[in-house]
Chains A and B, each alone.
Chain A
């Protein structure tokens, strides 16, 4: 019983960290720029395909990380220039536009790779014995990598003035230019960071899930739930949302069924949207 609890506890931490990684790109774009990138899941999907291609080519798996970041970053650059900037980063207009973009990206990938499922082999096989319980090594590695990425981003956000500059730019673009912020470049770079992070998250989850053109849909839904519950534009909100949604899903899926886990997530999100629409830790 204790062993089961221990494994289950690790699973909760794992789900929360992975979800935090998956949400990260969306949190950057939505929490900081007020742009809800509905195509976020498709950037994760493209990252997963990058992992698939790298693995098929017989290259070391870690190479997929820069590859996915590059591909998703470049697509993000084009999208920012041709879609987001012309729509002046308006929340509703960009929501509709990125919804269409998601369709387009799914169809493009379908054209290139077909509808079929692709599987990416787990790059680090085997399991590790922890206090007498064996746990998949790849999951442990993922947890460490996710924790490191999130922690370093957290430290950077708190220490570097960039976070405050982005907030300043979104709140008052005219004054931001006046104090010397190159607003066009800053907004573009923030958007690209979000899409590149989505690509990296895609590489991380690719071995754990079937890789197919529609895989992004589940990710965008979970990511959005996590943001709604946690609150936008804060690191605490990101962690809280990912822990609640990811943890809940993990526990309920194991204890009851995946369907009821999904239902519970929906109910919690509706409750939050209704009673506390800014989430647990919103930006002040």
Chain B
């Protein structure tokens, strides 16, 4: 059964007793008489406002406005804890997303001012070739420039990216637009080296593995 609220005795009040040596006195005299409460149907925001306005550490929660019946109590740390839990779960989700996009973050492009954008793909893996190219394409398409130019940019990115994925030990790619609107695509990888240059110059010679060639590369 909800109990009616009369007064409130806080830790602060108790400390004051000890401080002023009122230990033997009747607590009734030192209790907070005008209790600040919050109705249970009010928002968390209004509770926070009350915490600030009246500088209290806790708020008894009443059944409804002007009611004196207590149904619970809420403290700032209750709210903070809840907020932290929520933030944590959001952060967890974001983290998962980030793990998925370790190579390139599409958001990075979204948040970068339009003309100068730059991103890097580190350790691009074979199963996601085309990722840099698709992201780059989406970006340039969004700028509303000629479809043919967007295609060329995407194809160049794709070829460079595929080479990094298939023929190197990993690498990075940077795509940027300079002051004069030139699109600069830079692909740097860690190569395996060429043991026999003459052999490498033979027409149709390839070091690509059978498995990779079967996939159409």
Q: Do A and B come from one complex?
A: no
